[in-house]
Chains A and B, each alone.
Chain A
């Protein structure tokens, strides 16, 4: 079953603009992870944020986590054409299974 749900489903932005996407989940989590997928193939891990963390940065990526609202956001700053991909959030609860949402498809226009 899908626990994480990304919003919006699709996003189109101009190169250089920021892209923000959100993830909501239903049950308590240990960690939340964000992944990127290019062309429907393997997923690339971007950031892991623990349930006791509120914000994390990695290069041009910024992830926030609000456990009271059961939501997370991923911000990509100064987007590039190479950022065009699908982005997924994944959560784990009391078990080990990562549950993925349907993803946000980001298109960066040159």
Chain B
């Protein structure tokens, strides 16, 4: 596609429910990132996928969070047993390759999650 696509745009869920957030990166981009942004804050790194390498999950805040990337393209971020502190905008981004090579990261519009 033309840009990074995320769905849903907005999600309201009850505390304790599981949610899935989807990211469709730019075609051909091997690197995919998930970030989280709480209201009025900067971006918090969650997870990074690069090609077929094992993902870097070091930013996931707890074992309730997991992410997959199927076929080197679409990624799903899953949050189990949601808590109110999980409320945030979840931003997905992709790039042609690692940023160290001067590659620009392109962001989607984000999925705004509200846990009530």
Contacts and interface: CB of A to CB of B under 8 A. Distances in A.
Nearest to A93: B100
Interface in B28-84: 31, 33, 35, 37, 39, 41-43, 45, 48, 50, 56, 59
B104 A48 contact: yes
Given A33-B104, A101-B42, A96 B48 contact: yes
Interface stretch (A38-46, A56-64, A76-84): A38-46
Contact of A103 (B4, B42, B108, B109): B42
B48 A42 contact: no
Contacts of A18: none
A45 B91 CA distance: 14
A98 B105 contact: yes
Contacts of B91: 42-43
B110 A50 contact: no
Interface string A1-40: 0100000000000000000000000000011010100001
Nearest to A48: B104
Given A97-B48, A98-B33, A31 B99 contact: yes
Interface of A: 2, 30-31, 33, 35, 40-45, 48, 50, 88, 90, 92, 94-103
Interface of B: 4, 31, 33, 35, 37, 39, 41-43, 45, 48, 50, 56, 59, 89, 91, 93, 98-100, 102, 104-110
